[in-house]
């Protein structure tokens, strides 16, 4: 279960990198001053940095096999999931708007829907796998 959680976390992180790069590339940081984006930079980067810290902690847990590290990783991941859900809730109204994204559209309108969906579903799967692993389910 530990390795399955690691693999799911890494694949989720790859999708997150794609989304972050796309948001930055489409001007998400520049749009902060004008208020054109619904994604505050602290929320975006907090989600990213906490997820990365949790992944590193999970890798340390795999090496050290200390239950406290597994539970700490889970708590961090739960916070990451809440931040991610907040981002999703802020993204959804813009996605639902009828107009096609153009150069003046908020950066988040350019996020690819399949990547957003896969990132969210894999994130939820990772959360469950980390919980199960921390609880000792499927362990040796």
- CA-based angle 100:105:108, to the nearest 5? 95
What pLDDT does residue 114 have? Answer: 95
pLDDT in tens, 23-34: 999 988 888 888
pLDDT at position 38, please?
Answer: 87
pLDDT at 89: 93
Identify the helix (H) or strand (E) that includes residue 97: none
pLDDT reported for residue 100: 61
4: exposed, middle or buried (Cβ count in 10 Å: 0-12, 13-18, 19+): middle
Confidence at residue 109, expressed as pLDDT on a 0 to 100 scale: 87
State the pLDDT at residue 99. 63
Q: State which H helix or E strand residue 117 sits in.
A: helix 113-134
Q: Over the stretch 62-121, which tens digit does the pLDDT of each residue have?
A: 999 899 999 999 999 999 999 999 999 999 887 766 566 666 788 888 899 999 999 999
pLDDT at residue number 138? 78
106: tokens are 């908020």
């Amino acid at each position: 279960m530990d390795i399955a959680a690691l693999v799911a976390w890494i694949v989720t992180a790859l999708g997150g990198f794609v989304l972050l790069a796309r948001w930055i590339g489409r001007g998400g940081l520049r749009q902060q001053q004008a208020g054109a984006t619904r994604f505050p930079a602290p929320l975006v980067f907090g989600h990213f940095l906490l997820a990365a810290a949790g992944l590193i902690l999970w890798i340390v847990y795999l090496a050290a096999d200390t239950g406290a590290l597994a539970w700490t990783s889970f708590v961090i991941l739960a916070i990451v999931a809440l931040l991610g859900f907040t981002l999703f809730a802020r993204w959804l109204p813009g996605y639902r708007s009828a107009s096609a994204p153009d150069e003046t559209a908020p950066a988040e309108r350019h996020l690819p829907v399949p990547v957003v969906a896969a990132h969210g579903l894999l994130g939820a799967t990772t959360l469950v796998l980390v919980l199960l692993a921390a609880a000792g389910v499927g362990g040796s």
